[in-house]
Amino acid sequence: MNDPQRLLDHRRDLWMALAPLWLDREPGERDYARMADVIERYDFTTDELERIYRVEMSPVLVRHQVSLAGEWRAFDEDRLLRQLTFHVWKLTRWRRGFWLLFSGLTTMMTRHRYNMLMDVVLTRRRMAAEQDAASGD
Q: 48 versus 65: which is more confidently predicted?
A: 48
Rounded Cα distance, 31 and 117, in Å: 9
Q: Is the pLDDT of residue 78 over 60?
A: yes
Q: Is residue 113 a contact partner of residue 37, using CB atoms and an 8 Å limit?
A: no
Structurally, the chain folds into a number of domains equal to 1
Q: What is the pLDDT of residue 71?
A: 53
- Answer whether 0.85 is exceeded by the pTM: yes
The alpha-helical segments, DSSP class H, found in 19-136 are: 29-40, 46-51, 58-66, 77-89, 93-101, 103-106, 111-135
Containing domain of residue 89, as a range? 4-135
Rounded Cα distance, 19 and 55, in Å: 14
pLDDT in tens, 37-53: 999 999 899 999 999 99
